[in-house]
Amino acid sequence: MAFTGKYEMTSQENYDEFMNILKFPADIVEKGRTAKVITEVTQNGNDFTWSQIYPGGKIMKNSFVIGQESEMETMDGKKFKATVKMEGSKLVCDFPNYHHTSEISGGNLIETSTCSGVVFKRTSKKLA
């Protein structure tokens, strides 16, 4: 499957500005600036399990089926309901405060989040 794999974050663009718009505390922003986030994705057809593992052991895990409403969790642990869609080769989801897309490009996982005109981009290389 296209998304299945384990990925390690290699770069981020507009991280500080994006996190500040979402009103994350300065200490959390500081910790995340250089954190090597690991993303593990399991895809079985339209069924996905998407986990992000942060240094210190914090794990954000979302399971969803393309086109069906699912309970999801934000970066700061808030629960919400959303429907993940497939647009071409991109996964698209509207979180409470931002629009998020994920795609595989050149073997890398590219995640793009947009809020109030600020575009945060995280690139992760495939490990396995």
**Across 1-128, where does the E strand assignment appear?**
5-13, 38-44, 47-53, 59-65, 69-73, 79-83, 85-87, 90-94, 99-105, 108-115, 118-126
pLDDT confidence of residue 29: 85
What is the domain extent for residue 60? 5-126
pTM of the predicted model, to two decimals?
0.90
pLDDT in tens, 29-43: 888 888 889 999 999
User: CB 24: neighbour CB atoms within 10 A?
Assistant: 17
Specify the pLDDT at position 52.
Answer: 92
Q: How many domains does the chain have?
A: 1
Q: What is the CATH number of the domain that holds 64?
A: 2.40.128.20
- What band does 121 get if pLDDT is binned at 50, 70 and 90? very high
pLDDT higher than 70, residue 1: no
> What is the model's pLDDT at position 97?
84
> Distance between CA atoms of 26 and 93, rounded to whole angstroms?
26
pLDDT one-digit tens code per residue, 61-120: 999 999 999 999 877 778 999 999 999 999 999 988 889 999 999 999 999 999 999 999
- Average pLDDT in the 14-39 region? 89
Name the token pair of 25.
């505390």
What pLDDT is attached to residue 51?
Answer: 95
